[in-house]
Structure 1
Amino acid sequence: MTRGTTFRETMSGTVRLDDGRVRPVRLDLRASADRVLRPLGTTEARVEGRVRIAGLADDPRLTGELEISPLAARRIRYRLAFTADGRRLVLDGWKSVTPRRPVTSMTVLPFTLYEDARPIGTGTLRFRPVRSLAPFLASFRFPLRDDPDALAAPRWKGAAGRTEVWYTTVTDPATGTGLWLHHELTAPADGSAAYAHGWAAVFPKEGPVRHARFGPLPWTPGGPGFTAAGVSAGPGRLAGEAGAMRWELTEQAAGATLFTFPRWSWRHPLLPAAQILPAARATYDGTFAHEDGTLVLEGAPGASARIYGHGNARRWSWLHADLGGGDVLEIVAAVSMRPGLRRLPPLVFLALRRNGRTWPRRPERSAIGWAGALRFRAAIGLPTWTVTGRAGLRRIRVTVTQPPDLTLALDYTDPDGSHATCHNCERADVDVRLDRWWGRWRPEAHWHLDGTAHAEVGTR
């Protein structure tokens, strides 16, 4: 575990396109580095945010890289990719740092705009110290960083009655198709040999939902993640086949680790189960072949998550929603199978990462409440379920709709041999309303996703 660095930056200026038109440009960026900035060295950082070019682009899913080397290389370089009317563009430029003009050289960014490696415009962006310096400095954070590769490693140490899951959900931006890859290790409660199994499913925008299973297969420990007979889900790569489905994907983390459950519950498995996202957001490239064709993914948004515990809940609901602009919402609401807990309402674990910060600050707040127990509530059902709650000066209402024709029902087998049924939809709709208390409740943010959320309801 190490310290990282995050900060926000806003720049504005103009770009002259190759047809002679001059357009205003604005960048709102969030940078994230896996280490503390090194003033005398070079620091690489990931960038995400929003780009607006008047009449050409307004993309809240900008991604890219930032090279911060003000003394070693005397430059701060930006390479940012975004979409404009279906065209994939890249903004490439750098601030040339010099002691002769320290303020100007640190605040002026000349750049070139490319499409398919062909320059289509040039421009200049400026950081405005008078109005932007204070929020820029206030945005710096030095959070603890977990190693995503280490979090992908198997947790199981040979105990009976355990299950461990690696799962990935993706939305293809070109076709609107949703994908679900599920990899599971099951160690039966009766002490018999552990086995690996799983499935793949495709949720097209038009046409039926299809899925195929693989396994059960012998479990072979020692890999960096899930590995069984040619099917793998490890750091940066997913590959395998199930029935007529075959996939070969690379994964690029685009967000820090998100602990939906308390951090201690992953390190010390005292709860019936715990879930984490080694990268709260990620992008995927590669191919996914199925009966009706082959998807070619390029920068497809999604996420991979982990579960470790004793089995499935009595009832549960789950949501992963990429809200755009780097914001993400993760929800797990569940009723435990343990005696004494199974009669309680669903415990809600909710994590909203917005503007680089996670609310509620601690996962326990949504599960057991704050200034009153069970302040977060879930109404689990189909095709619509809801979660509402309040922590501090904010309250939230989440409404999830899983269209019946886009929801896949699959059987789960717990380590004790009991069964549960999950109803999964990788093209769900979600409406999220966030309010803040300013003497009265006032709207703070609203998101609506049409067919790009990932959701599930489990029953017995």
Structure 2
Amino acid sequence: MAPSTRARRTTFDEVMEGAFRLAGEDRDRPMRLDLSIDLPGVLRPWSDTEGALTGHVRVPGWADDHSAAGRLRVAPLTARRIRYTMDFTGRDGRRLHLDGWKSIDPRRPVRSMTTLPVTVTGEDGTVAGEGLLRFDLRRDLARFIAGARFPGPDPMRSRWRGQAGRLEVWYTTLTDPVTGTGFWLHHELLAPAGGEARSHGWATVFPPGERPVLARFGPYGWDRPEAGFLAGPVAHVGDRLTGTAGTIAWSLRETGGGEPVHTFPRWAWESELLPAAQIVPRPSAVYDGVVRFGDRVLELDGAPGASARIYGHGNARRWAWLHADLGGGDVCEIVAAVSTRPGLNRLPPLPLVRLRVDGEDLATGDPLLAARRLKADIGLPAWTVRGRIGDRALLVEVTQHPEETVAVDYADPDGAPAVCHNSERADVRIVLARRAGRGWETEREWRLDGTGHAEVGLR
């Protein structure tokens, strides 16, 4: 059975502030936690539930980490406790662990629900400092209540339920608007036909005019996190993306994103009836933070990009993919693929296209049905998709320059190999035309010079 599409979650933001004293010091420093919480199910007073915790830890002169991540257990009646555990990095690069809990006292419900003693320790367990934080009811209660949400299932959560022969991917691509540098994060869960599931992936930086810099991480075991992806030092949980792989390290915050783009039909993602399906939960996201590679530092401020997901039985026999940020929330997402299934592997590539223009997704309706009127010619260094979407004609031309394309070895759950040729520096031309008499008239045209995100997979 696929995960329920009706399950709800509880999300909210919380600010805790107070005094914090470092070990060996005789004075307090201010401490502030800006937290985002994502709990499974609808939170009720009698609940005993645990979910993801991300946020910003600030202690002037000692810590200022936007990428803190951990867990929150909420059990106000069953255990009379709300416990916060979180890992973060100090200004000196030291990894630290925060542990604190609100001890719920029915005689003092308001005070006990808003007071949080915390202890911070180093990796060796040595106490680095202790503090007492409070939730400011007068200042933050109205904002706290107004910000609480009960959304449906998070498409960034893992869909794997222990089956053999499954492949699950979380990937993020972005472009630095200042330097034109592209960045690609690939997080993967591989459950082979035989053996234990493992998590691994890679990070790749695409400096303009240079060979891409790629580094892998893993493999690690899989602990089935409730939210996002966690593997060793690498995490994509909530709006935080952090990790290290070889000479590459990153700490990013993801904001915005717009409505999800269902490149495959919505039913295909929810039912898992096809060999694989893709969705773009955050098609127009913005990224802030730092990427370090070698001795270089890339500081990102408002970098456009997207985070997407894949789940299924493995990679296609042959495929092409494009994510093109067209500005103003407009995007073009393409997956054109040939299945590995017998019989289906003899068919031409099936192009699934979603072109979002002014908030409208073209073509409307089921992308599989719309694909019958489109044709994909997959190759390197250039590939195209052309045909009809609704009452319009579409032409997409993609060029992946060899010197700015990286070849990455893939493996299916059954061990079959594939090679992905990826570039986050692709050139893209998209033409949308309408009928004009007996011919066609260009309605919109977009050109991306080195900011398209594209790949071609071959076997």
* Category of TM-score, reference length = shorter chain: 0.5 to 0.7
Q: In the aligned structure 2, how far is the partner of 1:147 from the partner of 1:323?
A: 28
1:229 & 1:349 partners in 2: Cα distance?
34
State the shift of 1:146 in Å. 11
- Residue of structure 2 equivalent to 1:242: 245
2:177 maps to a residue whose letter is P
Aligned to 2:156: 152
Q: 1:175, CA displacement in angstroms?
A: 0.7
Aligned residue for 1:386?
A: 384
Pairing of 1:73-152 with structure 2 (within 5 A): 147=151, 150-152=154-156
| 1:148-187 equivalence runs, <5 A | 150-187=154-191
**Rounded Cα–Cα distance in structure 2 between residues aligned with 1:160 and 1:423:** 27
Between the aligned partners of 1:451 and 1:323, the Cα distance in structure 2 is 13
| Cα-Cα RMSD | 1.7
Confirm or deny that 1:443 pairs with 2:442: yes
Corresponding residue of 1:278? 281
Q: Confirm or deny that 1:345 pairs with 2:344.
A: no
Question: Match for 2:212 among 209, 212, 221?
Answer: 209
Instruction: Say if 1:146 and 1:432 are closer, same or farther in 2 by CA, change over 3 A.
Output: farther
Q: How many residues align?
A: 312
Amino acid at match of 2:277: A
- Is the partner of 1:454 in helix, strand or coil? strand
**Cα separation, partners in 2 of 1:339 and 1:459, compared to 1, 3 Å:** same
Shift of 1:254: 3.2
- For residue 375 of structure 1, report the CA deviation from its aligned partner: 1.3
C-alpha distance in 1, partners of 2:262/2:151? Answer: 13
1:401 aligns with 2:399: yes
1:189 is aligned to 193
Check the 8 A contact 1:351/1:363 in 2, yes or no: no
Residue type at the aligned position of 2:336? A
1:336 maps to 2:335:
no
> In structure 1, how many angstroms separate the alpha carbons of the residues matched to 2:414 and 2:422?
23
Q: Which residue of 2 aligns with 1:424?
A: 422
Alpha-carbon separation, structure 2, partners of 1:419 and 1:146: 41
Give the counterpart of 2:267 among 264, 287, 290: 264
1:244 shift after superposition: 1.1
Is 1:457–2:448 an aligned residue pair?
Answer: no
Q: Does structure 2 retain, via aligned residues, the 8 Å contact 1:349–1:363? A: no
Kindly indicate whether the alpha-carbon contact (under 8 Å) linking 2:364 and 2:390 is maintained by their aligned counterparts in 1.
no
On the 8 A contact 1:148/1:279 being kept in 2, the answer is no
| % same residue | 57
Structure 2: 5+ residue stretches without partners: 7-148
Return the alpha-carbon distance in structure 2 between the equivalents of residues 224 and 392 of structure 1: 37
Of the structure 1 ranges 194-203 and 252-261, higher mean CA displacement relative to structure 2 is found in: 252-261
What is the TM-score when the length of structure 2 is the normalising length? 0.66
Q: Aligned residue for 1:127?
A: none
Deviation string 1:327-359 (CA, Å, 9 cap, x unpaired) is 100000000000010000011110000000000
| Aligned mates of 1:187, 1:305 — CA distance in 2 | 19
- Change in 2 beyond 3 A, CA 1:379/1:251: same
Q: Distance in 2 between matches of 1:223 and 1:168?
A: 19
Partners of 1:184 and 1:147 lie apart in 2 by 25
In the alignment, the residues of structure 1 paired with residue 266 and residue 150 of structure 2 have an alpha-carbon distance, to the nearest angstrom, of: 11
For 1:5-40, what per-residue CA distance to the aligned partner results, in whole angstroms no more than 9, with x for missing partners? xxxxxxxxxxxxxxxxxxxxxxxxxxxxxxxxxxxx
DSSP 3-state at the match of 1:151: coil
Distance 2:186 2:269 in 1: 20
Give the residue type in structure 1 aligned to 2:423. C
CA separation in 2, counterparts of 1:169 and 1:318? 12
Question: Structure 1 residues 309-318 or 205-214, which shifts more?
Answer: 205-214
Counterpart amino acid of residue 175 in structure 1:
T
2:130 maps to: none
SS at match of 1:189: coil
Q: Is residue 2:294 matched to residue 1:291? A: yes
1:225 partnered with 2:228? yes
2:455 maps to a residue whose letter is E
Q: What is the CA–CA distance in structure 1 between the aligned matches of 2:322 and 2:343, rounded to whole Å?
A: 26
Q: CA deviation at 1:262?
A: 0.2
Answer yes or no: is 1:360 the counterpart of 2:358.
no
Give distance in 2, aligned partners of 1:202 and 1:442: 39
Q: Runs in 1 of length 4+ with deviation above 6 angstroms?
A: none
What CA deviation, in whole Å up to 9, does each residue of 1:181-218 have, x standing for no partner? 0000000012x100000000000014321100001110
Task: Render the CA deviation track for 1:292-328: whole Å, top value 9, x for unaligned.
Answer: 4011100100000000000000000000000112210
Question: Does structure 1 conserve the Cα–Cα contact (< 8 Å) formed by 2:257 and 2:306?
Answer: no
